[in-house]
Amino acid sequence: MQSAMFLALQHNCRPMERSASNCQSKEEKKGKMKRTIMKDWKSRLSYFLQNSSSSTTAKANKKGQQKALLRPSPEEAQLWSEAFDELLANKYGLAAFRAFLKSEFCEENIDFWLACEDFKKTKSPQKMTAKAKKIYSDFIEKEAPKEINIDFQTKNTIAQNLQEATDTCFSTAQKRVYSLMENNAYPRFLESEFYQELCKMPIHKEPQAT
């Protein structure tokens, strides 16, 4: 009788053991995935920082100087949460945000916004027309490689203005993409683990007494 009870108890414990083992396995997988995501974030950010600073570095090298983008202090990173413009105005923040958008497969929004910023600085009418056509083929026309999500009327207006492009040619589309990023991707970026890591104060270990 006692032997039968022992076997029954042993049988009932096994599912609990398996359940605990499964929970532990899930936690390990979750931790492993978390570390993988962080590693991927850092490699992506490093890559985009290198690309975004390449032109600046080339100019600096001609003058015999070399500038590098440094990791922001926690206080500087925290400023990015005060306004979307604060994030975009910081080169490291911009690169980090672009890496985040790439991880969400929507980096075409920031690429379009940056292309528009560059376009507005163009003075030569000929260069302006050439850049306008390039932006249109890259981001606006149907099935463009980096097609952005804007309405047909806006697309049609841009197409009509291509031949005599002005600095306001993409203003409406740029404002809509800016609003889309500010209201959707920006809040998610601020909640991301990578951004939270940038805002943390470094832990200084006290030297051990000898």
Torsion sign (Cα): 3, 9, 15, 20? negative
Residue 19 is predicted with a pLDDT of 45
147 against 63, higher pLDDT: 147
Residue 43 is predicted with a pLDDT of 62
Structure confidence by residue, pLDDT tens digits, 77-110: 999 999 999 999 999 999 999 999 999 999 999 9
Structure confidence by residue, pLDDT tens digits, 8-64: 444 444 444 444 455 456 566 655 655 565 566 566 555 544 554 443 343 444 444
Residue 154 is predicted with a pLDDT of 95
Give the mean model confidence (pLDDT) for residues 106-122.
Answer: 96
Residue 33 is predicted with a pLDDT of 56
Domains of the chain plus CATH, in order, are 74-196 (1.10.167.10)
Residue 30 is predicted with a pLDDT of 52
172: pLDDT strictly greater than 80: yes
Give the mean model confidence (pLDDT) for residues 118-137.
Answer: 94
pTM, rounded to two decimals: 0.68
